[in-house]
Amino acid sequence: MRRVPRDHTTTVIAASALMAAGVTLYQLSRPGSLFGATADIAVYLGGSIRLVHGALPYRDFVYVEPPGFVLLATPFAFLSEVLGSRDALAILRLCTPLVAVLSVVLVGRLVRHRGAAATLVACGVMALFPAELYALHSVLLEPVLELCCLGGACLVFDGDSFAAPRRLAVGGAVFGLAVSVKLSALIPMLIVLALCLPQLRRRALPFACGAVAGCALPALPFLLVAPAAMYRDVVATQLGRIPASGRVPLLTRLGDITGASAFGGGTTAAIIVAMVLCGLVAGAFVLSRRRPAPLEWFALGSVAALTAAQLVPAQYYTHYAAVIAPFLSILLAVALARLRLARSPKLSLAIAAGAVALLLIDQVAYVRGQSTPDVQAAVDSVIPPGGCAVSDAPRILVTTDRFVAATRGCTTMADPGGTVLALDSSAEASRVWSAVVHHVDYVVTATPIGAWAVPAAASLYVEQHFTVVRSGSLLIYVRRGRPAGPGQPVAP
């Protein structure tokens, strides 16, 4: 295989990084994207805000993810003390282009020894994978997890082979950090460990020690304080999603995993794209007749295992597929490099550039129609600053500076949805929700409190002691006797 000079791959990586930055900045420019209410990130930042106020995840409130991101987001939580949670969240969102750029650069670094065309394919897919852009727009955990995994892979691999033991240990620690952000990172971490096992002392032990340290250090303080609650929230709750009702169809998942759903082709497109990708990869490895290198086994194993894992839980969301993006990027790059076509660098580069250009055009057209609702005015019209409030959607409170009350003793709840999942209909759920509704003065929701999956006693208390104030698409319950915006207190 002819080698393309390294400065060409540097240009490709730089151009791809600029493209990733441009697309993610374009997403942030869409209506409501900077200050609007998007799911999940409010829960994650909210957990950090509770932490800096002295409440510990798992012990003082339910949090269904590992503690890694809660710790990583603490600078923004401290910033919210000065600027408010609305502006702190906007600043956190402005970091997404940096995450996108770093991910593209790390993917490029992993495959640049395979030539410019392979590098362009890897960087282009990483920059424009539809589920990845969705996760970046919503500021979800997957891009952070992927960034850690890519950083770990850059340390673990030196070209196609493994690096020295010291780098393996540090790389293992970075993979462990990824697991402390979200448990999905266990899969690529275990793939690396399996590849290291033939050389137990030189490779497997250094990597495993680093991985254990990376996983344990962020979790240890919380595990020591509330071991049973942490297991319930992080492990048992995730396992409980597997047998849930209302299973999302296989072809819907396949459309997200392959990126076909972004083109609006439905199930047929998902099947066709999946067959093309599988045929391309299988053909590349069969025709080249070379034993896969460790980096190639890593990409193959991670894509296969993560794809299988996407099919296990009944509950499924589009951003789950984002975790496949870096490994699929690497796999497609090494597949292209293995094909005979790679012996013609100019033709390979032209084909890769055309494919990336089509993907770029499609994603820009999709992003153009994005918008996110901003509920600031609606909440301001009813809930005074510093009011003690709770919502089934924390994004409403975080994006309107109502997540933290002016008075102590309001509530430490950060994730109402996760609380419902973790506690279900247990006596603990009744105790937690009763404490919440007895302390708060405002309840903000898009659906009546009676439709929430909360204990009946809690919803009945709200119906008996609160009055509904309608504000656009939101329902805001106000405790009788408390002020409702600039008007008079709600009549008792």
Cβ neighbors of 159 (< 8 A, separation 6 or more) are 113, 295
Output the 3-class SS for 313-348.
Answer: CCCCCHHHHHHHHHHHHHHHHHHHHHCHHHHCHHHH
Contact present, 443 and 452 (Cβ < 8 Å): no
**pLDDT at residue 1 in the model:** 40
Among candidate residues 452, 444, 466, 463, the one with its CA nearest the CA of residue 417: 452
Among candidate residues 215, 111, 122, the one with its CA nearest the CA of residue 154: 111
d(CA 78, CA 74): 6
Digit-by-digit pLDDT tens for the chain (492 residues) are 444 444 689 999 999 999 999 999 999 999 989 998 887 889 999 999 999 999 999 999 999 999 999 999 999 999 999 999 999 999 999 999 999 999 999 999 999 999 888 999 999 999 999 999 999 998 899 999 999 999 999 999 999 999 999 999 999 999 999 999 999 999 999 999 999 999 999 999 999 999 999 999 999 999 999 999 999 999 988 887 776 667 888 888 888 888 887 666 567 788 888 898 999 899 988 888 788 999 999 999 999 999 999 988 888 888 899 999 999 999 999 998 888 654 667 777 787 788 888 888 888 888 888 888 888 988 998 999 999 999 988 999 999 999 999 888 899 999 988 888 888 777 788 889 889 999 999 999 888 887 777 888 888 899 899 999 876 678 999 999 888 876 556 666
d(CA 426, CA 51): 25
Looking at this protein, which amino acid is placed at residue 361?
A: I
**pLDDT at residue 156 in the model:** 97
472: left (phi over 0), alpha (psi -120 to 50) or beta: left
Is the Cα dihedral 444, 449, 455, 456 positive or negative?
Answer: positive
Percentages (nearest 5) of helix, strand, coil residues in the chain: 70, 5, 25
Task: State how beta strands 389-391 and 161-162 pair.
Answer: unpaired
d(CA 11, CA 334): 19
d(CA 46, CA 54): 13
Among candidate residues 397, 382, 380, 406, the one with its CA nearest the CA of residue 466: 382
Secondary structure element (H or E) that encloses residue 351, with its range? helix 345-368
CA 43 to chain centre: 12
Looking at this protein, which amino acid is placed at residue 408?
A: R
Q: Is 221 helix (H, G, I), strand (E, B) or coil?
A: helix
**pLDDT at residue 2 in the model:** 44
